[in-house]
Amino acid sequence: MIRFLLTKLLYLVPTFLGITLIAFGFVRVLPGDPVLLMAGERGLTPERHAELAAQLGFDRPMWAQYLEFLTRLLHGDLGNSLVTKKPVLAEFFALFPATLELAFVAIVIATVIGVPVGVLAAVKRGSWFDQVSMTAALVGFSMPIFWWGLLLIILFSGILQWTPVSGRISLLYFFPAQTGFMLIDSLLSGQKGAFSSALSHLILPSIVLATIPLAVIARQTRSAMLEVMGEDYVRTARAKGLPRARVVMVHALRNAMIPVITTIGLQVGVLMAGAILTETIFSWPGIGKWMIDSISRRDYPVVQSGLLLIAGLVMLVNLLVDLTYGLINPRIRHK
């Protein structure tokens, strides 16, 4: 297992270096003077320009700049935002819990609904339930989620007035962030109604973000189940007289879950891309909205580091998925 872990880690090194190269190169291939772009000052005198270039390291050879970039990165220094002047890393960690909370609730919704639907569709293959649920899954898979979010706002916020349109909690409530997760913080605050306000703000965005992963998980669970249901050991279990429910839940589902867990893990990239759209629609103050705002404000230090952090995050989760996979299935580990 240690050996498996180390090989996996070793494989990540070139990918990670590639990611840093892209983030590093990004500012340098932008049209315009990188010093102006990264310093964000207007009307520079030539002296000030030279000073800034030296300060930001743009006067040195490219490889030296890259080494400097890597060194800083390893020390946790990702530069400062041009707009807020605060360290990018601090901003990232301030906003990340909002995205994490949204993504976590979304993936829970997607798994809790998607897996049973997939199992049932496979067990009752060809039934009306199978057909309806798989059609729905294909519709969900094809959904432009930015439009889906707007539709839900029209229905639930506009016509029914059940849910608020934007933000994480009503402005009536104020309490210090302890965990950064609004559902937990609102409970800890002890203020009446705070938790239900946080929940009502979270429900629509998380449904929107869950839509595509839900469809993918349901489809994947169904096909994985169908595959294992045809295996000899399932037939043997049935033949020796075990009840159908036990065969499905214990023998089949456990083996079908391996590819499903991988699928769930691989949704992280989908969730991050989805978060950009979902957070924009619902004004959810997370890193998706932070990235898109920074791109339109030309806050390049933020875009550069955000890109790096998000890709690093996706890579890390993929590694965890790989490791889980190796843990469950020894054949993968020893290949």
- The site for other proteins (CB under 8 A) is made up of 14-15, 18-19, 21-22, 26, 29-31, 135, 138-139, 141-144, 146-148, 150-151, 153-154, 157-158, 223, 226-227, 230, 269-270, 272-273, 276-277, 280, 291-292, 295-296, 303, 307, 310-311, 314-315, 318
Q: Cβ closer to other proteins: 184 or 317? A: 317
Q: What is the DSSP string of 80-132?
A: B-TTT-SBHHHHHHHHHHHHHHHHHHHHHHHHHHHHHHHHHHHHTTTSHHHHH
Q: Cβ closer to other proteins: 104 or 146? A: 146
Name the nearest CA neighbour of 52 among 75, 79, 34: 34
What's the closest the beta carbon of residue 190 comes to other proteins, in angstroms? 34
What's the closest the beta carbon of residue 177 comes to other proteins, in angstroms? 26
Please check whether residue 202 is in contact with residue 182, taking contact to mean a CB–CB distance below 8 angstroms: yes
**End-to-end distance of the chain based on CA atoms, in angstroms?**
11
The Cα 18–Cα 304 span in angstroms is 14
Non-local (6+) Cβ contacts of 157 within 8 A are 163, 164, 165, 204
DSSP state, residue 144: -
Q: Cβ closer to other proteins: 16 or 175? A: 16
The pair of structure tokens assigned to 85 is 């002047």
What's the closest the beta carbon of residue 187 comes to other proteins, in angstroms? 31
The Cα 125–Cα 219 span in angstroms is 12
What's the closest the beta carbon of residue 185 comes to other proteins, in angstroms? 27
Q: Cβ closer to other proteins: 186 or 294? A: 294
Q: Cβ closer to other proteins: 251 or 289? A: 289
What's the closest the beta carbon of residue 43 comes to other proteins, in angstroms? 24
What's the closest the beta carbon of residue 265 comes to other proteins, in angstroms? 14
Q: Cβ closer to other proteins: 194 or 270? A: 270
